[in-house]
Structure 1
């Protein structure tokens, strides 16, 4: 009898563990599909529901943390990379999930990297950005209207962020075939600034810095709909 009870308990534990794993996987896939549709991603993001067990959270309708990550996406008009979103204190009643999914995060902390190619629309015509060793460089044929000439130019770009504004300043400027020194004029023409792009889920930008390969932007938001009619 004792052996039977032990075996029964083991079987029940295995069933519970299996149901927990299966339920977690199903919920993660559901959220991944919704996020992919919201942001028109080419592939589904990775979704991980935190916590030591899934079923108690599911029955309670509250999840400690949901982490959403993706290698790339497009937010508005900007391509972004290395996306990571931490949704905390997520409210998702089980009854709603079965019919009309409504998922709300008490708080969201997120980050993404904007590739340096986002600078291209702001630079003079004929100048484009490339990345070498993780750092941005601008080069191309620049029309200097004041002198009525076009000259090949190249320069490293120094990126800074202050008060929500991204600034790109050329350094080590190289100009070819110019009849006179136009480095000062080229510097002025290639110095650009623009607001930090808006983040998904209505996140407010809390920090931004130039990193290898792009501009890393961090943000946060509260009471954010992740799934349902009100989701972004």
Structure 2
């Protein structure tokens, strides 16, 4: 690990990166031809992919509004991806202007874009670090600059854990992060699944990317919430987690589980 917490020696634009594929599917411009090609292949094998990432983004916004409305004033967003407006801090600070956010991602390009957007904000920090090293994230000085782990924190792991294989021990990683959070904290999580359609081919798309895709079923996703009390409606498809509008056509096939849990003690 470098002093910035990033595993790679340099930015790799020769292979698609999940954050840049996601940006492309959302209609963003911070991506390369290799990312766009991967995104197009993803849509070919999973036609609901575009509305899926939009539904996931909408879930994130609803969940952030909920946890901030419940009184949380600190957010640790790991795997933040490329900043797409409205960003987490924009959504959160509409509810409560004093919310502080630490953004964490392992892509230097994400880090550069986020720092450019957030240089004027003392209430945010941007950290280049890898989810596979949760202790390094928790100990990072730029995380501690805005996050007080003696007070409730909303931990965001949105569309990130499916890029960890079982060899990465994702359950242990989530447990390490959970154990650092005080009572009253929240876990906001979404995860790709093949429960609603055979999406084995989506894993193939990511085999040459900088991170592989690892689909998990509902029971596996629910286990990430061990130590948290799931809010209603529990783990649900992203469009159906407390929707604030009618879910779009095709939502029943969207392969994203989503949920929010509260740490009681």
- Which TM-score tier does this pair reach, normalised by the shorter chain? under 0.3
Higher radius of gyration, 1 or 2: 1
Greater relative contact order, per chain length (Cα 8 Å cut-off, separation 6+): 2
TM-score (norm 1): 0.24
More strand per residue: 1 or 2? 1
